[in-house]
Amino acid sequence: MVCERSNILIIGATGYLGKYMVKSSLSLGHSTFALTRPLKPDTDPSKLQLHKHFQDLGVTIFHCELDDHEKLVSVFRQVDVVISTLAVPQFLDQLKVISALKEAGTIKRFFPSEFGNEADRVSALPPFEEVLQKKRKIRRAIEAAGVPYTYVSANSLATYFIDYFLHPQQPCNDVFVYGTGEAEAVFNHEEDVAFYTLKAATDPRAANRLVICRAPENTVSQLDLISSWEKKTGRLLNRIHISEEQIINFSQTLPHPENVRAAILHNIFIKGDQMSFELSGEDLEASQLYSEYNYSSVDRVLNTCLVNPAEVKLTTF
Does the protein bind ligand NAP through residue 66 (CB under 6 A)? Answer: yes
**Segment interacting with ligand NAP (CB under 6 A) among 113-121, 197-205, 240-248, 279-287:** 113-121
Nearest approach in angstroms of CB 300 to ligand NAP is 18
Does the protein bind ligand NAP through residue 90 (CB under 6 A)? Answer: yes
Return the bridge partners of 187, or none: 156
CB neighbours (10 Å) of residue 130? 16
Q: Which residue is nearest to ligand NAP, using beta carbons?
A: 15
CA of residue 178 relative to chain centroid, distance: 22
Yes or no: say if 200 and 263 are a contact pair by the CB < 8 Å rule. no
Closest CA to 295 of 145, 222, 192: 192
CB closer to ligand NAP out of 4 and 44: 44
Beta pairing, strands 150-153 & 81-84: unpaired
Query: 57, 87, 144, 207: which one contacts ligand NAP (CB under 6 A)?
Result: 87
**Segment interacting with ligand NAP (CB under 6 A) among 16-24, 203-211, 228-236, 269-277:** 16-24
Radius of gyration over every alpha carbon of the chain, rounded to an integer in angstroms: 20
Compute how many residues bind ligand NAP; rule: CB under 6 A.
22
CB closer to ligand NAP out of 8 and 66: 66
Does the protein bind ligand NAP through residue 267 (CB under 6 A)? Answer: no
Does the protein bind ligand NAP through residue 12 (CB under 6 A)? Answer: yes
Beta pairing, strands 81-84 & 109-111: parallel
d(C-alpha 62, C-alpha 105), whole Å:
19
Does the protein bind ligand NAP through residue 269 (CB under 6 A)? Answer: no
User: Of 140-199, which residues contact ligand NAP (CB under 6 A)?
Assistant: 154, 156-157, 160
Closest CA to 62 of 13, 6, 112: 13
Yes or no: say if 44 and 14 are a contact pair by the CB < 8 Å rule. no
Query: What stretches of 28-125 show up as alpha helix (H) in DSSP?
Result: 45-56, 69-76, 94-104
Nearest approach in angstroms of CB 213 to ligand NAP is 9
End-to-end, the C-alpha distance of the chain in Å comes to 19
Query: 6, 25, 113, 267: which one contacts ligand NAP (CB under 6 A)?
Result: 113
Active site (catalytic) residues: 135
- Residue ranges that bind ligand NAP, judged by CB under 6 A: 12, 14-18, 36-37, 66, 85-88, 90, 113-116, 154, 156-157, 160
